[in-house]
Amino acid sequence: MKAFKILNLILSLTIIISCQNKSSFEETRINYQANESIESFATKIKDYYKLPGIAIARINKDSITDVIVKGKNRTINGVDLNVNSKFQIGSCGKSLTSFLVATLIEHGFIKWDTKLCDVFKDLNIHPDLKNVSVKQLLSHTASIREFTSDEEVFDIHSIIPQLEGNTCQKRKIFTKWNLEQKPIFKVGEYHYSNAGYIIVATMLEEMFGMSYESLMKKIVFDALDIDSAEFGYSLTQDVSQPCRHRYRDQNKIGIPLKENERVIDDIFNSAGNISLSIKDFAKFVLINKKILKGEETPFDNAIFKEMFEPVTKIENGNEIGLGWQIIYVNGIKTYGHSGSDKTIRAAMSINPQTNQAVVFATNIGDEFSEIAMLNVILELLNL
């Protein structure tokens, strides 16, 4: 769930390749050759890093030019994946939550500086948190507890035992529990937090009397013609969908997880529990690239551009926006996000300098899948 800091890794090919067990792979990155098809490149990446499945889409200027899906949904008795396969995109979903907020701001329902105390009239909010804003929650500067560790994410009921009811009720209980406590961080400091995005979803539910999921579908998915998106892991509804892999066997082949292993509670949907096809993922990134570049869109670009404005600096001079990270690669300013729960991996990256973008997904979440992700971004965005 916690965003991977492409940060140090993407600054140097030496750093990218020098990870644990590097002897399992050659100490070279896979190059995208001139005039090579994306399909050929995707196949090389999949085979080289031994990924069960891979999905890549490339965006050039105002269109999605390539959509490639290769491999199997699981390494044991798997079936072929295809362009309709739905990959879980992890914390890349945070940008969808920010997009939902921006849309509601455009229609005058909320503001970036709307405060917790403006919405939760019935909660006993700690004095240090009352004036925390939506913008601070979305930029991880709200001093909210992180909820990024395995214990916090997969064993959340041991931390908040009374977490019961439907999804909206559980989010409200989660929010109440968090906001009544004295913050462990200073407001304004950067601490990556899934909890902040859960609280934003609760704010919207409090304001509109609708679930976050319903709001997302009506306001974002429908508006952008994203038909494939759903919450949670698609495999639970359709056994042909991507299975998750966390570990590898002695031959470096991914070991499929059981369907009930490492399942994220649905209160985390707004923080990164959305599955969709690679084409729909690219469709979302395309509209964001257009907003970022100031090109014509159906939206008020001035409002939506706030998502890409840096709120705080982090390691190596990189910056945090609202659901987006601003990452400098060899002096080039890029915008993106990545996501993984250690069983899947996804990423999106925009290079405004070349007016290109790429999205990536795979159904394994180990360190080699991270290197594969970085390899794809660096090569296809000419970084």
Compute the distance between CA of residue 296 and CA of residue 312 in angstroms, rounded to an integer: 28
Confidence of residue 119 (pLDDT cuts 50, 70, 90): very high
pLDDT the model gives residue 260 = 86
Where exactly are the structural domains of the chain? Answer: 6-92+227-380, 97-216
Q: Which of 180, 206, 48 is nearest to 114 (CA)?
A: 206
Q: How confident is the model at residue 330 (pLDDT cuts 50, 70, 90)?
A: confident
The stretch 303-315 carries a mean pLDDT of 95
pLDDT of residue 13: 33
3-state secondary structure labels for all residues of the chain: CCCCCHHHHCCCHHHHHCCCCHHHCCCCCCCCCCCCCHHHHHHHHHHHCCCCEEEEEEEECCEEEEEEEEEECCCCCCCECCCCCEEECHHHHHHHHHHHHHHHHHCCCCCCCCEHHHHCCCCCCCCCCCCCEHHHHHCCCCCCCCCCCHHHHHCHHHHCCCCCCCHHHHHHHHHHHHHCCCCCCCCCCCCCCHHHHHHHHHHHHHHHCCCHHHHHHHHHHCCCCCCCCEECCHHHCCCCCCCCEEEECCCCCEEECCCCCCCCCHHHHHHHCEEEEHHHHHHHHHHHHHHHHCCCCCCCHHHHHHHHCCCEECHHHCEECCCCEEEEECCEEEEEEEECCCCCEEEEEEECCCCEEEEEEECECCHHHHHHHHHHHHHHCCC
What percent of the chain has pLDDT above 70?
93
Q: How far apart are CA 163 and CA 229, in angstroms?
A: 26
CATH superfamily of this structure's domain 6-92+227-380: DD-peptidase/beta-lactamase superfamily (3.40.710.10)
- Tell me: pLDDT of 196 over 70: yes
pLDDT band at 36 (very low <50, low <70, confident <90, very high): very high
Q: Is 130 exposed, middle or buried (0-12, 13-18, 19+ CB in 10 A)?
A: middle
Q: Is the pLDDT of residue 324 over 70?
A: yes
Q: Which residue has the tokens 């974002």?
A: 220
Comparing 160 with 25, the larger pLDDT belongs to 160
Tell me if 6-92+227-380 shares its fold with 97-216.
yes
d(CA 53, CA 46): 7
Percent of the chain with pLDDT over 90: 88
Confidence of residue 31 (pLDDT cuts 50, 70, 90): very high
Examine the pLDDT at 14 and tell me if it is beyond 70.
Answer: no
- For residues 281 and 99, the answer to whether their CB atoms sit within 8 Å is no
Q: Which tokens sit at 134? A: 């939506």
Mean pLDDT of 161-173: 96
How would residue 27 be classed by pLDDT, with cut points 50, 70 and 90?
low
Mean pLDDT of 274-303: 97
Phi, psi for residue 245 in degrees, rounded to 5: -130, 130
In this prediction, residue 336 carries a pLDDT of 97
Give the model's pLDDT for residue 255. 98
Q: Is the pLDDT of residue 298 over 70?
A: yes
pLDDT at residue 3, as a whole number:
37
Q: Is the pLDDT of residue 333 over 80?
A: yes
Is the separation of the CB atoms in 324 and 352 below 8 Å?
no
Mean pLDDT score, 33-47: 96
Q: How confident is the model at residue 1 (pLDDT cuts 50, 70, 90)?
A: very low
CATH of 97-216, one of 3.40.50.360, 1.10.1370.30, 3.40.710.10, 3.50.50.60: 3.40.710.10
Q: What is the pLDDT of residue 161?
A: 86
Q: Would the pLDDT of 18 be above 50?
A: no
Q: Mean of the per-residue pLDDT values for the chain? A: 92
pLDDT of residue 237: 87
Using CA atoms of 357, 363, 364, 369 in order, give the dihedral in degrees to the nearest 10. Answer: -20
Cβ–Cβ < 8 Å for 148, 154:
no
Is the predicted pLDDT of residue 214 greater than 70, yes or no?
yes
